[in-house]
Amino acid sequence: MTDFKLTEAPKIVEPTIYELSSPGRTGVTYPDPDVPRAKLPDELLRKVIPLPELSEVDVIRHFVKLSTFNYSVDSGFYPLGSCTMKYNPKINEDTARLPGFANLHPLQPIETTQGALMLMYQLQEWLKEISGFDAITLQPAAGAHGEFVGVLVMRAYHRDRNDNKRTKMLIPDSAHGTNPATSAMSGLKVVQIPSDERGNVDLEALRAEADDTLVGMMLTNPNTLGLFDENVEEVCRIVHEAGGLMYGDGANMNALLGIAKMADLGFDVMHYNLHKTFSTPHGGGGPGSGPVVVTAELAQFLPAPIVAVVEEEADGLPPLYGLVDPSKTVGRVKAFNGHFGMFVRAFTYIAMHGPDGLRDISEYAVLNANYLLTRLRDAYHVPYDRICMHEFVAEGRWKDAPDIHALDVAKRLMDYGFHPPTNYFPLIVHEALMIEPTETENKGTLDAFVDAMLKIADEAHTSPNLLHEAPTRTPFGRLDEVKAAKELILCCWLPEDYGNQ
Amino acid sequence: MKFPSNLKYTKSDEWVDLESGKIGLTDYAQDQLSDIVFVEALVEVDDDVEVGGEISSVESVKASAEVYAPAGGKIVAVNEGLADTPEVINSDPFGAGWLVQVEVSSQSDELMDAAAYEKYCAERD
């Protein structure tokens, strides 16, 4: 059993930078201008600018102090389901900062950016091979953007055949919330397909909706229950027979690297999340990157431009890389060519691991999740309980502890020094706790997490107040989510009555 | 949990009072959603709404949900006050938390009575 040394975090509530301000303090003194001052019109000048006044050292201490309140994958275990918060190797940061990459301008002539284009080309080839698809765009800025691009491509495919009655997108009830949002953004009608008792797509419900108004279906596999859909090939067949296309949400690719190719399973389109599967920074460390891969049939609709070999290697000269536009492109979806720094990081990660290493990643991710599931399933109810992939969903509730909710379990975990798992998602599980350990965690860390979870399950029955009042060992206690959602203060200085609030 | 016997219920957790035409979310629904923080009416007075049409969008700290009409007809009133006090749906789902009122001209053929709906809720738990 892990010996938790529960220490109180310092309850120093750092004042806001406005409260630290004192008139006349200054960090930087500007020299007098060496050109004549321009006179600005009076009506454009504000008499009072409510900016804080502080010295440099005060500013540094304020923000360094705030940064210590932060929790990140560099400071601890972060089992946030469906987000794949894996450790980001620091060598990624070294390569992304190589001056030849970091100092490029996207408008340079292509003759001077061959190294960058070659890296993008090689990354395209690798991402095609890993998924089994024929063509790719690296442009999308993140996962949901990739979904949007994928659905635009699907729509373009149907319109190109003048099949304009197709307006319906099928989405399982275990899907990521971005799937219905993407379809709605694309002007499509969303129809939800229920899951069966094993957590697979309900085939009967699918058949009932598979008609000639189908644009296609968006399926995450493994799904958000962390389960591989056992009927995935049949699902693809039903949708294809109705003339629809299969969209694969690649958010959970961390379970499949080197094991299954989404194109082989029957998918037509898929997006990757480089910031999940390929260890580029995630969340506040972004930006993300959501490349989209498609079958040969859909290649002509991809966003423009795409990196290609424009002159073959010849006479001892290397190939010339350049940018080409697919013939029936849906257009450009991102300024320039996407988040290039993320391409360098993902390229580094793939090159470092190689094909066998990538397969190892998925095998360890799945092994770690099943280890946690096996150790936790007696203390936490797991509604769709079978061998999981890279994540699983447990319930944070007990019949004999009726006042305890998933949120209480999540908050109590913070007292034990862990980032909570995703909670209340997917919606088809009551009081869901969605746990994804990733491959980078060792057995000691997993055991410590299990020990904390078992202790919390025990506390839920013996001393529920510990959970209701949690977290008590963090710099801040439980925040008021209702107030946070309803009373937004979105301005760059404090309202006059702030002191009274 | 309450299941008033004068109301009819849907599988998507709406209630309708077929006498007054008032429609709302059930006690079970508000309990599942937890604290409701936003309500947006998707229909206006004098709109015609069909059975199954979207009438409101509700957002809680946990999830957002669309509310579908258990009965169709002309909208005669919208509970405007909910925009400022959406928490009323949590505290009084069958009373002050009503969403819209319709002049009932059609109704879903899958409506349940209180006993059937209570059983349906128990099955899902």
CATH number assigned to the domain covering B8-105: 2.40.50.100
Strand partners, A169: A190, A216
Average pLDDT of span A155-169: 97
Instruction: Please report which residue ranges of A404-442 form alpha helices under DSSP H.
Output: 406-415
Counting residues of chain A whose pLDDT is more than 90, the rounded percentage is 82
pLDDT exceeds 60 at position A285: no
A488 interfaces chain B, CB cutoff of 8 Å:
no
Higher-confidence residue: A251 or A4? A251
| Phi, psi for residue A87 in degrees, rounded to 5 | -60, 140
Phi, psi of A300 (to 5 degrees): -65, -15
CB A179 within 8 A of CB A220: yes
Which residue of B32, B61, B63 is in closest CB contact with A482? B61
User: Is the per-residue pLDDT at A2 higher than 80?
Assistant: no
What per-residue confidence (pLDDT) applies to A7? Answer: 65
Asked whether the predicted pLDDT for residue A491 surpasses 80, the reply is no
Q: Give per-residue pLDDT as tens, A187-230.
A: 999 999 999 999 999 999 999 999 999 999 999 999 999 999 99
* Total beta-carbon pairs less than 8 A apart between chain A and chain B: 17
Residues from chain B contacting residue A424 (CB–CB below 8 Å): 62-63
On whether any CB of chain B is under 8 Å from the CB of A32, the answer is no
What's the rounded Cα separation, in Å, for the pair A346 and A275? 8
Confidence of residue A307 (pLDDT cuts 50, 70, 90): very high
CA distance A110 to A106: 9
**pLDDT value at position A68?**
87
CATH number of A91-350: 3.40.640.10
Say if residues B76 and B9 touch (Cβ distance below 8 Å). no
Is the CB of A485 less than 8 angstroms away from the CB of B62? Answer: no
pLDDT at A501 over 60: no
* Boundaries of every domain in chain B: 8-105
B63 vs A contacts (CB less than 8 Å)? 424, 427
pLDDT in tens, B15-61: 999 999 999 999 999 999 999 999 999 999 999 999 999 999 999 98
Section A286-290 average pLDDT: 88
| Separation CA A273–CA B67 (nearest Å) | 32
Indicate the domain borders of chain A: 91-350
Residue B40 with chain A: CB contacts under 8 Å? none
Q: Give, as one character, the DSSP assignment of residue A80.
A: B
Across chain A, what does the average pLDDT equal? 93
